[in-house]
Copies of this chain bind each other. A is one copy, B any other.
Amino acid sequence: MIRDFKTILTALAEEVQEHLQDCLKIEGIPLDLQKAMEYSLLAGGKKIRPVLCLSWGEMLGADRKELLHFAAALEMIHTYSLVHDDLPAMDNDDLRRGRPTNHKMFGEAVAILAGDALLTQAFFVMLGSSLPSERVLAACREVAAAAGPQGMVGGQCLDLMATGMGSMNLEDLKNMHALKTGALIRASCTSGALLAGDSADVHKAASYGTNIGLAFQIVDDILDVTGDEQTLGKPVGSDLSSDKSTYPKFLGIEQSKAMAQDSAELAKACLDEYHGPQKEFLKSLAQYIVDRIY
């Protein structure tokens, strides 16, 4: 990992945060709606998706300021999905990032609308990029495919259907995560590449994104298990007998860790032919995702 990785990550996240504030200066928007959008969008978070778009795009030569439109939009789409997933009819969560969820603060109706508004405004923001039209169109369509029924929304539906049924096998689990979280992480990389305009690089960006998306999810599942050990005093693996399908349940902790590290290595290998500071940053980012389990 490069020495100043976390400094760069923080600086990029702050730059995105500033741009997000601008994205919510919307003329004629009702005050309650604006407050609800701001509450969730500006709540912090590592901004991994925007950072992936910025890094891939800049590494391949795209203009940083124009990439910011897409970086912001990816965070808006991610945020809308969290707001809707937290709703009582869905995961029914009261807390998100240590604060009351959007519907706990603003009521269910406004939370639904705030999610709808963030999703729609994300497209408005992306479509305002002044990069060449063909590139903007291709990148927008990539994001729409990743966010929609054949991507994120489809994955959330599969997850919902499986909850409590305990019927997913390892392939089902992989497919569900590939849609629910993998698709948008992948599109964060490929949209950056598409905006830089060299379509030959898009499959490298896709492969990098797919692999860090997989690593990210395996690590999340591992932390669910080992995290419980620390916070609840349960022995490692006590969740393995529950109904929830996870990587540790299918593979055990050690094999899951190895699979996460393998995925990170495959991601890093996608960067072999590139150069410059973004290359080193993206390599470190792949390792950073896995390092959370050590």
Pairwise interchain contact A157-B37, C-beta atoms closer than 8 A: no
Which of B26, B112, B117, B179 is the one whose CB lies under 8 Å from A90? B112
Q: How far is the CA of A160 from the CA of B36 in the complex (A)?
A: 14
Identity of the chain B residue whose Cβ is nearest the Cβ of A118 in the assembled complex: B149
Is A266 close to B, CB under 8 A? Answer: no
Closest-CB distance, A152 to chain B (whole angstroms): 8
Residue numbers in B under 8 Å from A26 (CB-CB): 148-150
Pairwise interchain contact A153-B87, C-beta atoms closer than 8 A: no
Is A30 close to B, CB under 8 A? Answer: yes
Residue numbers in B under 8 Å from A145 (CB-CB): 124
Q: How far is the CA of A153 from the CA of B122 in the complex (A)?
A: 14
Identity of the chain B residue whose Cβ is nearest the Cβ of A123 in the assembled complex: B144
Is A120 close to B, CB under 8 A? Answer: yes
Identity of the chain B residue whose Cβ is nearest the Cβ of A147 in the assembled complex: B120
Pairwise interchain contact A117-B87, C-beta atoms closer than 8 A: no
Pairwise interchain contact A117-B34, C-beta atoms closer than 8 A: no
The tally of residues in A whose CB lies under 8 Å from a CB in B reads: 50
Is A128 close to B, CB under 8 A? Answer: yes
| Given A124-B141, A140-B140, A84:B116 Cβ within 8 A | yes
Pairwise interchain contact B161-A32, C-beta atoms closer than 8 A: yes
What sequence of 0s and 1s flags, for each residue 123-161 of chain A, a beta carbon within 8 Å of any chain B beta carbon? 110011000011011001100110111100110111011
Secondary structure type dominating chain A contacts: helix
Residue numbers in B under 8 Å from A115 (CB-CB): 116
Pairwise interchain contact B154-A117, C-beta atoms closer than 8 A: yes
Is A165 close to B, CB under 8 A? Answer: no
Residue numbers in B under 8 Å from A158 (CB-CB): 30
Pairwise interchain contact A90-B109, C-beta atoms closer than 8 A: yes
Residue numbers in B under 8 Å from A9 (CB-CB): none
Pairwise interchain contact B121-A149, C-beta atoms closer than 8 A: yes
Q: How far is the CA of A140 from the CA of B110 in the complex (A)?
A: 25
Is A29 close to B, CB under 8 A? Answer: yes
Pairwise interchain contact A140-B157, C-beta atoms closer than 8 A: no
Identity of the chain B residue whose Cβ is nearest the Cβ of A115 in the assembled complex: B116
What sequence of 0s and 1s flags, for each residue 76-102 of chain A, a beta carbon within 8 Å of any chain B beta carbon? 000010001001011000000000000
| Given A32-B161, A107-B89, A149:B117 Cβ within 8 A | yes
Closest-CB distance, A84 to chain B (whole angstroms): 6
Is A201 close to B, CB under 8 A? Answer: no
Pairwise interchain contact A120-B137, C-beta atoms closer than 8 A: no
Given contacts A87-B112, A90-B112, A123-B140, 4 further A-B contacts (CB under 8 A): A27-B150, A30-B161, A119-B120, A133-B133
